[in-house]
Amino acid sequence: MAVSTTASGGAGRANSPTRAVVLLTGPAYVWLTIAVLLPLLAMFYFSFLTEAPIAGRVGELTLEQYREFLEHGFYTTLILRSLKLGATVAFFCFLLGFPCAYVLAKTIKGRWREALFLLVIIPFWSNALVRVFSWTMVLRGNGLLERSIDFVIPGAGSLGLMFTYPAVVIGLVHSYLPYMILTCYISLQAIDDDLIEAARSLGAKRLTILRRLILPLAMPGIVAGAVLIFVPVIGSFMEPRILGGRHGTFIGTIIEDQFTAVFNWPLGAALSFILLACVLVIFALFAPVLKRAA
């Protein structure tokens, strides 16, 4: 971030910057501390307890929750499954969203662009839950999709998409696609058209232009979009529950269960921190890419 020294220097009061900084940033950070940082610390503490120290219970320090995780292989299976879900959804969002953003940013001009852009963004404004739910009506047996396929090819039979892994992916891609389109659009728009024109006049093939010029320049947008999608998806629980049925068990649904049903908050906390550690490791592995993107 470029910062002007002249602006602050001109004020002339020597001790005022510190005071101003505290006054300006203080409230926001006190808020973040109370609402996010302290809760995370508390959760970390809870993950080492035998029982949540509430409702008259007493928790003692233990490593039992983490041992529980290690002893039962299925938790690892579910974490890997959630990570895979996050990657799959992010990938399909890119596959669908990037060309879409490209068309919007580079081939459509003027009022049409604005109108179409708005159309793409509006679903982002409507409720994600509602959108996921609307898929149940499309995918369900004898629902709209099967009926319309049957109409085109009579007797095509049942797709059986509802309550499968693909159903969860479809619902999530639908929910998060606007993020990818938005971030890609912003970075694509920043690419100078003349640059592409120049490459073309130098005889570069379309694919080469895409691979060597457009993709690298659009990378910040793609990476930002992927992160914005990956993170919430690995913790998702309501989408798998609504669309996944028997195939809808993920680490997110297990963690939610610990908090809302089983009342084993320490185990829920431990699983959350293990999941968080996985996220951090992935970010660290991709740090070079992320840094280049930023």
Partner 1 sequence: MAAAGRIYLGLVLVFLYAPILVMAAMSFNDSQLYALPVKWSLRWYADLAGNQRLIDAGINSIVIAMITTVIAGTLGTAAALAFFRYEFRGKRLLQILLFPPIAIPWLITGTAMLLFFFWTGIGRGLHAMVLGHVALALPYVIIVVAARLKAFDPDLEAAARSLGASPWQVVRYVTLPFLAPGVVAAALFAFAVSFDQFVISYFLAVPGVSTLPVEIYTSIRKGFTPEINAISTIVIVSSMALLIGVTRFYRFGGDR
Partner 2 sequence: MNRYLTAASAALAIFAFTAAPSAADTIRVLNWQGYGTDEDWSLEMFEEKTGHKVEHEYFNSEQEMLTKLRTNPGTYDVVLINSAFTPQAAKEGLIVPIDTAKIPNAADLTPEMRNNPNLVIDGKTYGVAWVWGATSFAINTEKFDKAPETIEVLWSGDFADKVGWRDDAVEAVQMAAIALGQDINNPSDLDAIREKLHALKPQIRTFWTSENDWNQYMSSGEFDVAVYWSGSASRSANNFGLPVEFVVPKEGAIGWLDGLSVPKDAPNTDAAYEFINWMIDPEFYVKWDTDVGAPASANAKAMAGLPEDAFNRTVLGNSAVTSKLKFMGPIEDDMREKMLELWQETKTFYQK
Residue 65 contacts partner 1 per CB under 8 A: no
β-bridge partners, 49:
61
Residue 261 contacts partner 2 per CB under 8 A: yes
Q: 116 touches which of partner 2, partner 1, none (CB within 5 to 8 A by kind)?
A: partner 1
* Listed ranges 99-107, 148-156, 258-266, 278-286: which one lies at the site for partner 2 (CB under 8 A): 258-266
Least separation in angstroms between CB 85 and partner 1: 12
Residue 125 contacts partner 1 per CB under 8 A: yes
Among 235, 245, 279, 286, binds partner 2 (CB under 8 A): 245
Residue 88 contacts partner 2 per CB under 8 A: no
Residue 260 contacts partner 2 per CB under 8 A: yes
Least separation in angstroms between CB 83 and partner 2: 14
Least separation in angstroms between CB 168 and partner 2: 11
Among 108, 263, 278, 286, binds partner 2 (CB under 8 A): 263
Residue 157 contacts partner 2 per CB under 8 A: no
First to last CA, the chain: 11
Residue 201 contacts partner 1 per CB under 8 A: no
Query: Which residue's CB is nearer to partner 2, number 143 or number 232?
Result: 143
Residue 155 contacts partner 2 per CB under 8 A: no
Question: Radius of gyration over alpha carbons of the chain, in Å?
Answer: 24
Residue 143 contacts partner 2 per CB under 8 A: yes
Among 17, 25, 40, 74, binds partner 2 (CB under 8 A): 74
Query: Which residue's CB is nearer to partner 2, number 263 or number 286?
Result: 263
In 3D space, the residue among 79, 89, 123 whose CA is nearest the CA of residue 254 turns out to be 79
Query: Which residue's CB is nearer to partner 1, number 241 or number 247?
Result: 241
CA distance 131 to 20: 44
Residue 158 contacts partner 1 per CB under 8 A: no
Residue 277 contacts partner 1 per CB under 8 A: no
Q: Which residues bind to partner 2, rule: CB under 8 A? A: 54-56, 72, 74, 77-78, 81, 140-143, 160, 162-163, 241, 245-249, 254, 260-263
